[in-house]
Every structure is written in C-alpha cells, then in structure tokens.
Structure 1
C-alpha cells in the first residue's frame, strides 16, 4: 500500500470495452464463444475471468475473424488477464488491440493501468498522455493522467490534471481524490482534507474518500482520526481487503497488536494470498515476539502473494529482507508505539538508547574467513548541528557520532568524523576524502544536517550558510554532485546516505524568489519549537551511474521526521541494521526503510536511488564460513 497507494486508496479505472455485432452470419457455436469472450459483464470473479480468458483465446484462433472482432477479442482477453493479476499479459494483448484499433482511448487507459501494475511508470504515463489526446473532453482522462503523474513524483502535474477534471465535471468525486492525493504528496494536509471532504460529500456511499482521508490523517500524525475514517471505509466497502489491511497497520503502529492481528486475520480469511496483509501480520508477529509465526507469514508472502491492490511486489521485497535478517540470527530491533496524535509536526518520540553493541572488528585471521572479501572501506561522516543563522539542530551531531562508532565497530578501515562544518571545512574534508576513496574499494559519505533542492540540484548546508535566496545555494552550500565526485574513485562501491530531507528554517528566505523550484531541505527539532532539516518538501531524485547508491532518509518530495530522544528515526534504524551479518546491502536498506516506516507510523519512507552490478554482492558484515 505504501508504495503506490498515495492517499490510502487505489482508484480502479473501470473500462468497459463495448462491441457491436461483428458477425453477420455466425453459427450458434461461434455465437456462444463470442458471447463468452465479448460480454463486458463477464469477469467479475476469478472463475468468470478464467472462462473469459479461455473463450477469447479460442475465439482468437478463428482465422475468419474480422480485424474489428479480433481487436475486441484481444481487448476482452486483456481485461480478463488484468483481473487475474497478470498485467504483463494484459499489456501484450492490449498492444495487439491497439495495433488494430489505434484511436481507442479505452485501450490505452487499460494498458496504462497494466504498466502501472508492473511499476513501468514512464510507459504508463505515456499511455495516459495518449488517452488525453484521444479523449480530451472526458474528465476520466485527466484523473488517469494525474494518477500516473503521482507515480512519477510529479504532484504539480497531478494538481493541474485534477483541476481540469474538476472543471469538466465538478459533480464527480474522482477529480477531488486526485487533488487530495497530490496535496498530501506536497505535505499540504489541511487542503488535502478539504478536497477529500468534498469527494465524500459527492459520493458518500463509496469508501474511497474515507480511505483517502484516512491516509491524510495518518500522514499528519492523527492516528485516531485515521482509524475512524478507515473504519468508515470498511463500513461502506467491506469487500475491499485493502481497508482491513490498512486498519491492521494503524492498530500495529499504536501498539494494539491484538487488534491488528484480528484485522489481518479477518482479511486473510477472505483473501488468503493477499501479500500485503501477510506481511502486515508477519510484522505484527515480530512486534509480539513470535518470530516463528512471523517467518511462516513472510515465507507465504514470497510463495503465494497475488497482485491484489498493486502491492505484492513491495510485500515480497519486505519479506525477502526480513527473512534474511531472521536467518542472520540478529535481534529484531524494538519499536515503540507511535503516539495516537502527534504533538509535533516534524518530530516524534524515539528511544533514548545508544546504538546497539556490535561485533568487534575481525582479526586478520578472521578476515580470511569472511565471504566475500569486502576490500578496503572508508567513510566520511558529517553532522551539522550548530547553525549560525537559523536555530541549532540538536540531533545531527549525535546521529553522526553514533553512525561513525558503528562503522568503526563493523570493520571500516578509516572513518573520519566531522562535526559542525562550515563551507570551507566541508570542502576540505571532501578533498581529503577523495584521495582516500581513490585508494579504497568502498567509499561512504553519511551526512546529517540541513539540505535543500534548488533548480533540480541537491545541496548540503554548512553551519555558516546565510541563504537570502535560492541564488545563494551554489556559493553558500555544497552540491550533492561534489559529494559524488569525491567518492567517484572508489573501485567497487560508492554510497551516500543523507539524513537531510526535512522542513527547513531557511525556507521563508530561500523560497522568496523561486516559487516551485525550491523543493526541500533538512533539519531537526525538539519539543514545541522544532528546527527542521528541509527547505520546502524533500530532496530531489539524483542522477547516478555505475555501482552507486544514494539513500535518502525520506523519499523525493517527502520530509523526514526528527527524534525527540537521542537520535533521529532514520539514524537509529541505520545504526541498528548495518550490524546484521550476512545480509546484502540492498536488503539492509529495505530493512532500514521498513523500520523507519514502523517507527514513524508510515509518515516517513526512506528511499534508495541507484543500483549495484549483479555480479557481486556487498555486505556491511559478511557471513562467515
């Protein structure tokens, strides 16, 4: 649900592909086959979808079909494949139908939804653009394109499309739902709630508006209101399993583990292969300390999860990472219940505990037993707290010190810790680190402090920065491109970890002449007067090449929450998870993501950009023979 359910609700674009009389002289047998395939009402259950798919396959073997009838048969078989959670087969059939009938917007719309199910968002967006070109007078065209824009992280485009849909049909709820989703993505929660209120008023019998409003309430930290709304959604659409799974998540977040278990159990009775619910129940078992039961559900999610409601792939990623962590023998990190209603918009309670004890650095003899050899590893860790022109940030220096300690403990050959660096000090640290990186296999930079995006470029903010406008960023800050250049000489792995995507005290000045160009920055806060770590909303997506990863504490367009204990939620999760032996680095960051989602009640989702070559695995602590 978190991956693609931007407002806690999936809106299905229901496309009925109508057909006329395509055979003038049919035999009764052929009429029966054609009716089974081409009847738009068929396919409302798994069995009827299977029957439709098979009938269409038989019909398509008839060489006497006209091109119009063949297009209809491909389209209806695609509809059945889509309902059977086979979007790749649906997309292939729709390609054939589009070849035969290239001006039908319904075909492009269903193929867009099929590509979306496969996470092929650029292709989905291209098809949505085609739908608008072919049916520019239909509000549903803009609803579809707006939702695809949200998948691409383009909330601005989604808002524009929602406005057009509402202008064309102000009495329809779906335009307001897309508008609300886009406003949630931009952190404009009060405006989003107003949009969802309007959607509910227009369609009070649907659960969609309540599910969307529940997500907005969750993201603003009001879990009681979110729980009330998701239960209203269930009351109106009890057959939508996603609502039950969402209820289970919220109950787990607030620590009602028995209530969460009941919600997941009730859903899994109806949809036993719903991967998202299986993983949700497994996470609840983990919280209860029943690791054996958690393992069973994670394994079931890998073997049997279906693509119901678009989140099976995400569920499988979580299941693989959690199973790897359980196999390592590492202790599952504790998660404290989230507050039912957040008292602070930018922070939340975190445990005031030191990073966990880790294995000591292996001896030379022990190193020979490590599989595979990790080579020489170096790290530069920066924590900027004592800002001179904005409120000080208590946590970054603590986060940096904790991360540096753990990196040393797990065997990094050199760890340089820099606290409260001005621009000159940061630049010098990067120059020195570039020399170290060129002689190493791994080069890692961890940064905690302020950050911002200006004009598509990400910047890290030194403690002496004085930003009067966005034009000051290149001269006052350190570009992410400079960080990437410093680690570029590493022979194997280049890794940047940024706990720097929070609401920014520079924002009022820095956004004065930039409008929509300043998207985000980085900060941290304590108590009622929070300092924060971002200018606008979130850092921008970086462009990477080679064996490089950039990990953001919060995904593009989102802000990171700070901890009211000793460390931020992200720093705690990172420090706790990198000590897990025998789990490769992609799974480690999946574990970090899931732990932060749990700790923040779904309000913050870390995101990893980049990829690693498939020929070699990387481990913070490798398994021993």
Structure 2
C-alpha cells in the first residue's frame, strides 16, 4: 500500500515569525539582507525587512529578491521562485529579479516558463547578454539546438568575452558533430578564463570523441585536480564529471579497447534507486526496499557505471542524495531515478513521502514531502536519456490520518496527478494518474517484477519496453492496475540491452 507526492515548496529554514505585529527592521537588517555572507543571517534579516509594515514597497521588493537569491544559493528553487514572484508583483520591471526567476525556473527544469521570463527580460533589456545566455541554456535543455545557438551567438555579439557563452556554443557544435569547431570554442573559453573547469571537462569529451585520448585524459585530469572556486556549482559538477570520464577512459585504454568506435558506444549511464519501506508514523510497506534492490541489481548487470541506492530515506536524506545525484547526472548520457514508496498528489502537484513524514495536516505536505519536480530537475542534465520511474501510487494511509484529524482534504486525490514533463524527459508511473497500484502478494510488486524482467530482455526499445510492462501488469492484476508513461523522447532509439 503506497501512494502520494507534491508541488514545489518545502524545506522551511526555521525562520519563525512572532504572532502579532512584526518587529521593526533595523538599518543593520537592511545591510545584512543586501549582502550578508551567512545565508541564515540573510534569511532572517530579509524576513524582518519584508514583515516590517513601515518598509517602503521598493525596499520590500529588493528584500524579496535578496531572500530569493539566498534560497537559490541553497538550491531551494521553489522557495526562491515564490520570493521572486513577490518581488515582481511589487516591481514588474525589476530586471535582476526577473533574471533570477528565469534562472531558478531553468534549474528547476521548467524550461518553457524560464523562456517566457527571459524573453520578457530581453524585451525590457535587449542588450542583456546574460539573458540571452540563460535563455539559450533553456532551449539547449529542451533540445532546440538551433534556437539555443542563436541565443549564444546573440550573447557573444553583445560581449565576445563571455567564457560561459563560448562553452555553451561549443556544446552545441559538439552535438552537431562539428568537433574541430567545438574544440576551437573551448580553447577560446579557456583563453578568456583559464580556471573554467567546465570547459576543460567538456573539451576532454570532444577530444575523446575525436580519438585524441591523451589530450582527453589531460583535460579530465586538469578539471578533476584543479581547485573549485568557492560556491561555484558548475565547478563542482565539472570535477565530478571529469573524474568519472577520466576513470572510464583510463580503464578502456588499459584494456586495449580505447578506439573512437568503442568510446562512442560506451554510454555513461547512472542511476539513483530509492526504496522507502520503514515509515515511522504509518505501517511499514513490505515491498519497496525489495523492489529497489532488484532494480539496482538489474541496472548494474546492464552496465550502468554507477548505481546509487538509498533506503528508508528521511526528508534530509532525500534532499542531500538528490543534490549529489544531480552533479553525477551532469556527466552522464543516461540518468535514471527509480522510486518505490509512498507518494501523494495535492492540488494537482505530486510529492514523494519520506519515511520521517507525519503529515498530520494537509498543510504539512509542502513542508514534509518532496515534490516530483525535484527528481525531474536532477535527471535533466544527462545528455541523452532522462527517466524517472515511480512505483508510488499505492493506497495511502496518510490520507486516512488526515481525515481522522478532521482536516480538510478536498484537494487530496487518489493516485498521482497527470504530468507534462519537459521535452526529452520520460516519466513512468506504476499506475496511471488517478488510480492506485498494488503492493503485491510476493516479494515484489507486480510493476517492479515486470519492469526488471523487461529491462533485462535484449532488443526492446524503451517505448516498447514500457508498453510490454503495461501489458504484463494489466494482465497479472486482472485489469486492476494499468501502468502509464508521460513525456516524449527524441527520435533515436534507446535500449537497456541491445
């Protein structure tokens, strides 16, 4: 029995506001809100400025923006977006707030919304090279290479000395097979910024595809060994990707298998497998841990270079593990997250339920559960396959608990809500939206059993694979459970096992 999920706001930092009238903000609060290096101090200071009724609207808008940027620095993009929303309600032409909201939406995987924000930003400021670069990234992640290239070109036309725009332009050239041109762009990016670790890692990959393995290893080593700049997430992702690629290429060379054809066929596949069985405040689920272990073993046997496992995860466990997995996915061709456990849908938004959740009231869902959108954003950095598999639609005892406490549950519904993931992302449900899945009477759920069997079957293209899983489960459950997939993939075929 499991089932539930959420929207995109949670993880409150403990900034408690006293009941009644808020205390007046001091001049020190305004200074801390604007520039304190301690994020917790900045949260508290900005909150006092926002809550002070004497704060002028323009200053309140800036406080919302600054607090939003602090949330974004903690990768709490949902909370950041809410604050940017408030800033823009007060000051619709606040360009930094609009850019920051567009970037947060981009990092959350909401590319279409990001493009809308950044297009408005560029209407207000046509000479904003950062806006073109950020919108180009949104198009790139959506798979619209032509529009992405046009935006990076526009950014470089305004300012030819942008190393990150050079790097992003090179990424597109590499995907188009123009490896010599891509290397030239990476060279220029590194001339502009010799400490740009992402450009070293990406140039190494281009060299690898060209068969220039020694140059590739040298670039990977540089990216892996160089010191990451403080608070630079790109550097951290570059180091993680470079270490993976360096180890894999060195192994191919040692085995005498380092040929351009072998390297091209050696896709970098990574997975995160989560099984939540031992819930602390509702009865234990029998199968999620078993299901997750079976899926993890299957993925390893299929040659995934790294399969991370997480069992009986608390909210903080989930957040920390997903953050690390996002860095891992940045250097991968395939990124897959499999989740078995409770999930919930509230007001059209899906959430995963960690094992320490109490959910005594409906209003606690956003605080104690993790939105599906967080998982989607962590697979999107992968270059080819971005897949989330959810066996999380079982009968949900948390809803019954909320009903017994007399709380309003009008917006809680059976099963998970239908979703429309960004282009290139595939989401598989164990049971279609609005219905529940069975935990099964054996060691595995009907869905996990069918999924593992079909993943190991040679020659099944992934679209056909999930259709066969659907038929297997539908038959085994006497038509009580119908798995479903959402999203779309590019035209190329994908196989777990050829």
Q: Normalised by the size of structure 2, how large is the TM-score?
A: 0.48
- State the TM-score, normalized to the length of structure 1: 0.40
Higher CA-based Rg = 1
